[in-house]
Amino acid sequence: MAGHLGKGEETLETIVKSKAPDLGIPPGACVIEGSLDPCTILIFGASGDLTARKLVPALYNLYLNDGLPKPCLIVGCARKKWTRSDFQGRMENAIKKAGNMDTSKWPSFAASLYFHPLEYDSPQSFKKLADFLRDIDKKGSTGGNRIFYLAIPPFLYKATAQMLGRAGLSVKSARGNGWSRIVVEKPFGRDLKTAIDLNQTLHESFQENQIYRIDHYLAKETVQNMMIFRFGNTIFEPIWNREYIDYVGIIAAETLGVEHRAGYYEQAGVLRDMFQNHMMQLLALTAMEPPSLFEADRVRDEKVKVFRSLKPLANTGQEENLILGQYASGTIDGKKVPGYRDESGVNPESLTPTFAMMRVFIDNWRWRGVPFYMVSGKRLPKKLTEIVIQFRGVPHSMFRTILGEHIMANQLILGVQPDERITLTFQTKNPGATFCLRSVTMDFNYYQNYSGPILDAYEKVLLDCIQGDHLLFWRQDGVELCWSFLSPILEQCETCPERAEQLHLYESGTWGPQATQAWMRQITGSRLR
- Catalytically annotated residues: 278
> How many residues line the site for ligand BG6 (CB under 6 A)?
4
Residue nearest to ligand BG6 (CB): 273
Closer Cβ to ligand BG6, 100 or 439, answer by number: 100
Contact 377, 352 (CB under 8 A): no
Helix (H, G, I), strand (E, B) or coil at 331: strand
Question: What is the closest distance, in whole angstroms, from the C-beta atom of residue 273 to ligand BG6 in the complex?
Answer: 5
Contact 457, 219 (CB under 8 A): yes
Radius of gyration of the chain, Cα coordinates, nearest whole angstrom = 24
String of contacts with ligand BG6 for each residue 314-353, x by CB under 6 A:
----------------------------------------
Question: What is the closest distance, in whole angstroms, from the C-beta atom of residue 372 to ligand BG6 in the complex?
Answer: 19
Question: What is the closest distance, in whole angstroms, from the C-beta atom of residue 515 to ligand BG6 in the complex?
Answer: 22
Contact 205, 211 (CB under 8 A): no
Closer Cβ to ligand BG6, 260 or 368, answer by number: 260
Backbone CA torsion sign across 32, 33, 34, 39: negative
Cβ neighbourhood burial of 26 (10 Å; 0-12, 13-18, 19+): exposed
Residue 325 CA from chain centroid, whole number: 22
Closer Cβ to ligand BG6, 254 or 302, answer by number: 254
Closer Cβ to ligand BG6, 191 or 254, answer by number: 254
Alpha carbons 37 and 173: distance in angstroms, whole number: 15
Alpha carbons 469 and 7: distance in angstroms, whole number: 17
Measured at the CA of 441, the angle between CA 438 and CA 443, to 5 degrees, comes to: 165
Contact 400, 275 (CB under 8 A): no
Q: According to CB under 6 A, which residues from 129 to 168 bind ligand BG6?
A: none
Closer Cβ to ligand BG6, 75 or 416, answer by number: 416
Cis peptide before 71 (omega within 30 of 0): yes
Question: What is the closest distance, in whole angstroms, from the C-beta atom of residue 49 to ligand BG6 in the complex?
Answer: 11
Question: What is the closest distance, in whole angstroms, from the C-beta atom of residue 161 to ligand BG6 in the complex?
Answer: 21
Alpha carbons 486 and 362: distance in angstroms, whole number: 14
Question: What is the closest distance, in whole angstroms, from the C-beta atom of residue 186 to ligand BG6 in the complex?
Answer: 6
85 backbone dihedrals φ, ψ, rounded to 5°? -70, -25
Closer Cβ to ligand BG6, 133 or 285, answer by number: 285
490 backbone dihedrals φ, ψ, rounded to 5°? -60, -45
Closer Cβ to ligand BG6, 267 or 451, answer by number: 267
Closer Cβ to ligand BG6, 69 or 478, answer by number: 478
Taking each helix axis as running N to C, give the angle between helix 296-308 and helix 280-287, from 0 to 180 degrees, rounded to the nearest 10: 100
Question: What is the closest distance, in whole angstroms, from the C-beta atom of residue 251 to ligand BG6 in the complex?
Answer: 11
Closer Cβ to ligand BG6, 142 or 376, answer by number: 376
Question: What is the closest distance, in whole angstroms, from the C-beta atom of residue 134 to ligand BG6 in the complex?
Answer: 35
Residue 420 makes contact with ligand BG6 by CB under 6 A: no
Helix (H, G, I), strand (E, B) or coil at 387: strand
Helices within 232-368 (DSSP H only): 262-270, 280-287, 296-308, 318-321
- DSSP H/E element including 114: strand 113-117
Question: What is the closest distance, in whole angstroms, from the C-beta atom of residue 254 to ligand BG6 in the complex?
Answer: 5
13, 191, 273, 480: residue in contact with ligand BG6 (rule CB under 6 A): 273
Alpha carbons 252 and 279: distance in angstroms, whole number: 8
DSSP 156-191: GHHHHHHHHHHTT-SSPPTTS---EEEEEPSP--SS
Residue 172 CA from chain centroid, whole number: 29
Residues linked to residue 43 through DSSP beta bridges, in sequence order: 76, 149
Q: According to CB under 6 A, which residues from 369 to 408 bind ligand BG6?
A: 385
Residues 6+ apart with CB under 8 A from 147: 39, 40, 41, 42, 180, 181, 182, 183, 465, 466
13, 191, 221, 254: residue in contact with ligand BG6 (rule CB under 6 A): 254
Contact 272, 490 (CB under 8 A): yes
Alpha carbons 54 and 50: distance in angstroms, whole number: 5
Other CB atoms within 10 Å distance of the CB of residue 276? 26
Closer Cβ to ligand BG6, 350 or 410, answer by number: 350
Specify the DSSP class assigned to residue 102: -
Site residues (vs ligand BG6, CB under 6 A): 254, 256, 273, 385
